Structures are given as structure tokens and as C-alpha cells.
């Protein structure tokens, strides 16, 4: 395959690049990433010689069209992805998540690509009450805040391109990921880094919000299964291995793993429009793709805390902002779009 991986310098995208090169070394991989605050070329440091890296914006039609000429498959991760930022700057979410996805779809259609895989989120389904129900492929869309609203719009465009133009698309809607290279603004890496530095951790509201945690490697395997065995035009929901916990339970696990006590918990003001609970039923992926998550939360969290301990330099460079210099040093230029 000749893959274009958008957002490949971000958290899940970079894990996917590593996963794909390891398991499909014969394939050609191009990464297109704007290197926003969330993009970090250091995430690809060990494979940078095995890929073509293009610094650029998925909304840049000319650039995107020039890249896809040499591509047969797009795996689309690039997005604005953080709910707290979406409440402050919704426009950038609409731009990248909706217009960017549209631009990629149009390029895929007009260049006859063999596959467009769109990486989406379970948040498009809205939220669930505590202790009851789950999301699956038949759950109606009901996003409640601006990030999932922009992802829902993108999902609709992906489906519309399949129905209207016959573009060979697939979509995955996945629950909360965690693992290596997770930017320390999301709860798990933020709390690990704070606790390690002896700082308190800010638990929003009552702390009883529930997430269905999936290790990023399981997510990457799920996308691989969809690319290799998924049916064109279909959506697959991917979720964690018995890993539904409240934020408070999660925090207590992280306190135990970092040797801190509950005095490090600080209850802070709640997130506006905070979704109460997400939970995925992945029966379809299991029966049609023979995929299921393998990594349980306790094992995954232990390995993740260890990864952050082993990669303190990576954390320090992000916390100090130095990570954004790496692209310039690696490629000797700052603004150029192609390498
Ligand atoms: P991330 O924020 O860590 O990374 C996003 C990447 O996209 C960054 O490298 C950034 O530089 C790049 N990017 C942003 N705007 C761009 C643009 N206009 N042009 C080119 N590149 C751009 O995100 P993530 O957590 O890795 O999420 C990746 C995808 O998976 C997103 O589409 C997200 O909606 C989806 N998703 C995430 C989760 C999760 O728990 N993190 C769960 C389900 C689905
Ligand atoms: O469900 C999939 C989604 O998971 C992805 O689509 C998003 O891109 C990804 O960011 C994630 O969204 P969440 O909003 O669930 O992740 P976050 O880590 O921001 O928050 C997880 C929970 O922890 C949520 O209930 C809010 C809470 N929280 C978060 C932070 C950053 C806190 O209590 N304190 C915090 O400091």
C-alpha cells in the first residue's frame, strides 16, 4: 500500500505510523501534519528515515491534491481533538475537522483512491447515563459540544462521499485512547506528569464521569483490521477491554502507580457541557473483523506510567515548548511544506 497518514505526528497517528511500519515494512508511508501544538515530530524520531514527512495543512487543497497523486490509501487522523480547547476556539475545530476532511475526501475522489479510512470518535453519539447502555454502530448521532459536533459533521461528509460518489470509505468510532506519545493536556498523561513532578491533579466536577479506556495499540490493530478486512461503506465501533472507570477511580490508580496519596487530588470547576459517560459495544468489530481489545486497564496504565518515566526528556521538551524546534533542526527549515 501507499499510505497517506494525516495527523501522523500526533498521539494516535504517530502510534499508528510505528505500528504500520513494524507490521507492514514493505508499504510506503507519507505523513501530512501541520505540526500544531499537538503535533510533535519527535514522536516519529526513530522512523523519520523510513517515511516521507510533509509539514502542511489538510485544508490546503493544492498541497493535498499534489500529495495524493502518489497515494492509494488515506488514513485520516488529523484533527483538533481536545474538548477543553473546543470550548475556547470552536472555529479551528470546524476548519480542520470539517473543511480539512472535505478537502481530503475531494482529493481522494478526484484521484481515484482505493480507500479512505476516517478515524472518528464515540463522542459523536452524545453521552450515556451512569451504569446503563452503550454505543454501537446504530446509535443515532447526538453530539453535545463543539469538538464532537465537528467530528460528526466530518463523519456525515465521509458517508455522503461514499453514497454520492462511490468513494471507498470506512469509518471507526473509538473510545478514549491512552498510551505512549499522549500529549500531556489529556487526563492520563497530564495526571502522570503532574504527580511525577509533585503537583496536584485537577479533577473536574464530582469526578464521577466515566470513560471507556482503550490502549492505543489496540486502536491501531482495530484500524489495521478495518483496512484489511472491513467492508466498504461500513462503520466500526472500537472500545476498551473491560476498562470503564470513573475519573476518580482512574485517578486513584494513577496515584497508586506513582506512589502519591489522595491529598494530591484537587476538585476543580467542571468542564462546560461535560459528557457523563461513554461506553462502546464492539460486537460488530469482533464478529466481522475478529478484532477485540487485548490490553486491560491495569496492565496498560502500568506500562504507560513506565513509558513516561522512561521518556522524561520527551515530556520536558513538551512542558517547556522546546519540542516545536525539532522540525526546524531535523530539516533545516521552518516554513517549507515539502521535504
Ligand atoms: P492529537 O491532537 O494528538 O493529534 C492531532 C494531529 O493532527 C497533530 O499532529 C496535529 O499537528 C495534526 N493536525 C491538526 N490540525 C491539522 C491540520 N489542519 N492539518 C494537518 N495536520 C493537522 O489527536 P489524537 O488524540 O491523536 O487523535 C487523532 C484522531 O483520532 C482525531 O481525529 C481524533 O478525533 C480521533 N480520536 C481520538 C481519540 C482519543 O482518545 N485521543 C479517541 C477516538 C478518536
Ligand atoms: O471518547 C473519545 C475522546 O476521548 C476523543 O474523541 C478525544 O479526542 C479525546 O480527547 C478524549 O476526550 P475526553 O474529553 O474524554 O478526554 P480528556 O482526557 O480531556 O478527559 C477525560 C475525562 O477526564 C473527562 O471526563 C474530563 C476529565 N478531566 C480531564 C482533564 C484534562 C479532568 O477531570 N481533569 C482534567 O484535567
CATH code at position 112 = 3.40.50.720
Instruction: Answer yes or no: pTM beyond 0.75.
Output: yes
Tell me the three cell numbers of residue 156.
456525515
Q: Is 267 helix (H, G, I), strand (E, B) or coil?
A: strand
CB atoms within 10 A of CB 55: 22
Query: Average model confidence (pLDDT) for the chain?
Result: 95
pLDDT for residue 110 is more than 90: yes
Residue in 178, 204, 205, 249 to alter for ligand 2 test, most ligand atoms within 8 A of Cβ = 204
Q: Is 27 a catalytic residue?
A: no
CA distances from 126 to 37, 89, 322 (A): 27, 20, 36
Does residue 124 fall inside a structural domain? yes
Tens-place pLDDT, residues 137-154: 999 999 999 999 999 999
- The burial of 305, by beta-carbon neighbours within 10 Å (0-12 exposed, 13-18 middle, 19 or more buried), is given as buried
Whole-number Å distance, alpha carbon 79 to ligand 1 midpoint, is: 4
Phi, psi of 327 (to 5 degrees): -60, -45
Tens-place pLDDT, residues 2-43: 999 999 999 999 999 999 999 999 999 999 999 999 999 999
Tens-place pLDDT, residues 53-87: 999 999 999 999 999 999 999 999 999 999 999 98
Average pLDDT estimate for 327-331: 61
Band (181; pLDDT cuts 50, 70, 90): very high
Does residue 222 fall inside a structural domain? yes
Question: Of all atoms in ligand 1, which is nearest to the CA of residue 177?
Answer: 40
Does residue 148 fall inside a structural domain? yes
Q: Is 237 in the pocket of ligand 2 (CB under 6 A)?
A: no
Does residue 253 fall inside a structural domain? no
Average pLDDT estimate for 158-170: 98
Does residue 197 fall inside a structural domain? no
Does residue 131 fall inside a structural domain? yes
Nearest residue CA, atom 14 of ligand 1?
79
Per DSSP, the residues of 85-138 read HHHH-HHHHIIIIIIIHHHHHHHHHHTT-SEEEEEEEGGGG----TTS--B-TT
Query: Whole domain around residue 160: which residue ranges?
Result: 2-180+215-240+280-296+323-331
pLDDT for residue 321 is more than 80: no
Cβ atoms of 174 and 214 closer than 8 Å: yes
Number of domains in the chain: 1
Band (172; pLDDT cuts 50, 70, 90): very high
Whole-number Å distance, alpha carbon 259 to ligand 1 midpoint, is: 31
Q: Is 176 in the pocket of ligand 1 (CB under 6 A)?
A: yes
Cβ atoms of 67 and 109 closer than 8 Å: no
Whole-number Å distance, alpha carbon 334 to ligand 2 midpoint, is: 32
Q: Is 38 in the pocket of ligand 1 (CB under 6 A)?
A: yes
Does residue 247 fall inside a structural domain? no
Band (331; pLDDT cuts 50, 70, 90): low
pLDDT at residue number 87: 87
Q: Is 122 a catalytic residue?
A: yes
Does residue 188 fall inside a structural domain? no
Amino acid at each position: 500500500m501507499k499510505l497517506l497518514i494525516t495527523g501522523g505526528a500526533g498521539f494516535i497517528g504517530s502510534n499508528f505510523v510505528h505500528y504500520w511500519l513494524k507490521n507492514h515494512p514493505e508499504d510506503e508511508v507519507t505523513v501530512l501534519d501541520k505540526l500544531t501544538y499537538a503535533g510533535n515530530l519527535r514522536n516519529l524520531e526513530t522512523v523519520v528515515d523510513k517515511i516521507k514527512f510533509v509539514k502542511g495543512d489538510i485544508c490546503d487543497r493544492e498541497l493535498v491534491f499534489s500529495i495524493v497523486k502518489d497515494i492509494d490509501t488515506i488514513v485520516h487522523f488529523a484533527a483538533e481533538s481536545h474538548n477543553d480547547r473546543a470550548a475556547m476556539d470552536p472555529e479551528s475545530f470546524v476548519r480542520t475537522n470539517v473543511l480539512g476532511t472535505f478537502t481530503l475526501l475531494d482529493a481522494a475522489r478526484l484521484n481515484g483512491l482505493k480507500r479512505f479510512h476516517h478515524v472518528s470518535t464515540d463522542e459523536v453519539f452524545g453521552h450515556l447515563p451512569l451504569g446503563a447502555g452503550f454505543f454501537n454502530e446504530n446509535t443515532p448521532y447526538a453530539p453535545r459540544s463543539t469538538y464532537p459536533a465537528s467530528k460528526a459533521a466530518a463523519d456525515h461528509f465521509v458517508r455522503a462521499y461514499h453514497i454520492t460518489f462511490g468513494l471507498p470509505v470506512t469509518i471507526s468510532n473509538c473510545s478514549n485512547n491512552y498510551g505512549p506519545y499522549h500529549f500531556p493536556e489529556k487526563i492520563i498523561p497530564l495526571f502522570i506528569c503532574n504527580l511525577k513532578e509533585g503537583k496536584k491533579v485537577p479533577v473536574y466536577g464530582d469526578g464521577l464521569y466515566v470513560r471507556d479506556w482503550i490502549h492505543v495499540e489496540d486502536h491501531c490493530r482495530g484500524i489495521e483490521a478495518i483496512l484489511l478486512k472491513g467492508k466498504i461503506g461500513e462503520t466500526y465501533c472500537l472500545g476498551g477491554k473491560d476498562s470503564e472507570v470513573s475519573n476518580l477511580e482512574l485517578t486513584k490508580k494513577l496515584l497508586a502507580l506513582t506512589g502519591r496519596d489522595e491529598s494530591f487530588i484537587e476538585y476543580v470547576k467542571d468542564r462546560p457541557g461535560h459528557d457523563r459517560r461513554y461506553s462502546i459495544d464492539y460486537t460488530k468489530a469482533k464478529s466481522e473483523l475478529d478484532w477485540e481489545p487485548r490490553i486491560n486497564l491495569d496492565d496498560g496504565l502500568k506500562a504507560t506510567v513506565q513509558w513516561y518515566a522512561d521518556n522524561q526528556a520527551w515530556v520536558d521538551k513538551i512542558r517547556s515548548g522546546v519540542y516545536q524546534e525539532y522540525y526546524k533542526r531535523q530539516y533545516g527549515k521552518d516554513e517549507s511544506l515539502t521535504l
